Amino acid sequence: MKPVKVGICGLGTVGGGTFNVLKRNAAEIARRAGRDIEVAQIALRSQNPQCDITGTPITSDVFELVDNPEIDIVIELIGGYTLARELVLRAIDNGKHVVTANKALIAVHGNEIFARAREKGVIVAFEAAVAGGIPVIKAIREGLAANHINWLAGIINGTGNFILSEMREKGRAFADVLAEAQALGYAEADPTFDVEGIDAAHKLTILASIAFGIPLQFDKAYTEGITKLTTADVGYAEALGYRIKHLGVARRTAAGIELRVHPTLIPADRLIANVNGVMNAVMVNGDAAGSTLYYGAGAGMEPTASSVIADLVDVVRALTTDPTNRVPHLAFQPDLLSDHPILPIAACESAYYLRIQAKDRPGVLAQVASILSQRGINIESIMQKEVEEHDGLVPMILVTHRVVEARIDEALAALEALDDVVGKVMRIRVEQLN
């Protein structure tokens, strides 16, 4: 049988990894796919010194590649929203299947892209868009197809996890660790996407869609980054038996779906609390399977290439199938997606870690307790530290039971209005994940 011809758009970290693994494991991959896979063209802006592309036709124009009649499958690895959207839609219009690692593209333009792909009877595959080398899309979309999925929670940004791990383990400064993540090729082109949670929210949006059968709704995800975390909070969390992780949480409740990315205290003895460095992990809770955990490299050249090529093999195997019998892009049949609403963060429910900087006077703790109890907020534990030399203030750390966020917002406003409380109260959500 003739080889399947693919075109790779972008020869950066993931594109380079994809080219190299396709070449190195060509025979093994062909044994799985049932056909040889040939890279017929690469669109690149500059050479990748880690790849020997001698003999492979190249172009600097991605549209020349997507219009190339020889190419059956386009692999989009240029990233970003605008050009990537244009080239993916054009590839689809040209009747080509698409494999992409672009989480921003899928989270923001996925509904449009999948609708167009259905019209044209082509596949758009995106395993590499979430959690690098972990086949979590396939696990949720296919492996857990029997389940009513209740919730999922994941460490889905390697750069952020690397920063938090290094801060906790070595007391390293934020900026220094971020620079290292950039040098290692983990960070996004705009690193605020990593540290402000935007990249994780892109991935969470995708995971929630395939878990709950809802359209992609990135604009409704609540996103909070890790830049305001202090080493003091990391230490207090530790003393209370928790680790702070930057978590994406999607939970189905009767009122709607929680879709939120924020720093989170997790009990230190949970497996996921011990996922460190650039590693990612996603926990999925389904009614039949219970909790399952997927762990692995969340970024990097070859781990991400592994997912790109797995998609490629899937597409090659499906080339001759009837488009209506393929696994739906978002796991559920497109005309059966649910309109269960995404909840605003004020309606989400969680436990909370609160750090109050208070003056060292009698009665402050009583006032704090009164404000919380008036709003039905139950305190689970409390820790008061000695007066800090530099400002003469007393850090008061509380962990609450679960409560709707709006209640905590009201309590924080009341606490911050107290004469004896100085500055903003630090609030970090707490999840038990059990």
* Residues with a known catalytic role: 203
DSSP string, 321-339: S-GGGSPPTTSS-GGG---
- Whichever of 187 and 398 has its CB closer to ligand HSE, that residue is 187
The residues in 177-196 that bind ligand HSE, with binding defined as CB under 6 A, are: 186-188, 194
Give binding residues for L-homoserine as ranges. 188
- Whichever of 183 and 366 has its CB closer to ligand HSE, that residue is 183
Give binding residues for NADP(+) as ranges. 9-16
Kindly state the helix (H) or strand (E) to which residue 305 belongs, with its residue range: helix 301-318
**Least spacing, CB of residue 158 vs ligand HSE, in Å:** 4
**Least spacing, CB of residue 185 vs ligand HSE, in Å:** 9
d(CA 393, CA 424): 13
- Whichever of 181 and 377 has its CB closer to ligand HSE, that residue is 181
**Least spacing, CB of residue 338 vs ligand HSE, in Å:** 27
d(CA 12, CA 17): 8
DSSP-based three-state secondary structure for 409: helix
The residues in 153-172 that bind ligand HSE, with binding defined as CB under 6 A, are: 157-159
CB 67 within 8 A of CB 57: no
Give binding residues as ranges. 9-16, 103, 188
* 377: its two tokens: 């907020």
The residues in 120-159 that bind ligand HSE, with binding defined as CB under 6 A, are: 132, 157-159
Amino acid at 313: V
CB-based contacts of 205: which residues, under 8 Å, 6+ apart?
Answer: 107, 216, 217, 218, 221, 259
Site map for ligand HSE, 295-314, x if CB under 6 A? ---xx---------------
* Nearest by Cα to 112 from 157, 81, 146: 81
- Whichever of 72 and 127 has its CB closer to ligand HSE, that residue is 127
**Least spacing, CB of residue 290 vs ligand HSE, in Å:** 27
CB count, 10 Å around CB of 199? 28
Tell me the helix, strand and coil percentages in the chain, rounded to 5. 40, 25, 35
Q: Does 197 bind ligand HSE (CB under 6 A)?
A: no
**Least spacing, CB of residue 77 vs ligand HSE, in Å:** 12
- Whichever of 213 and 296 has its CB closer to ligand HSE, that residue is 296
Site residues, ligand HSE (CB under 6 A): 132, 157-159, 186-188, 194, 199, 298-299
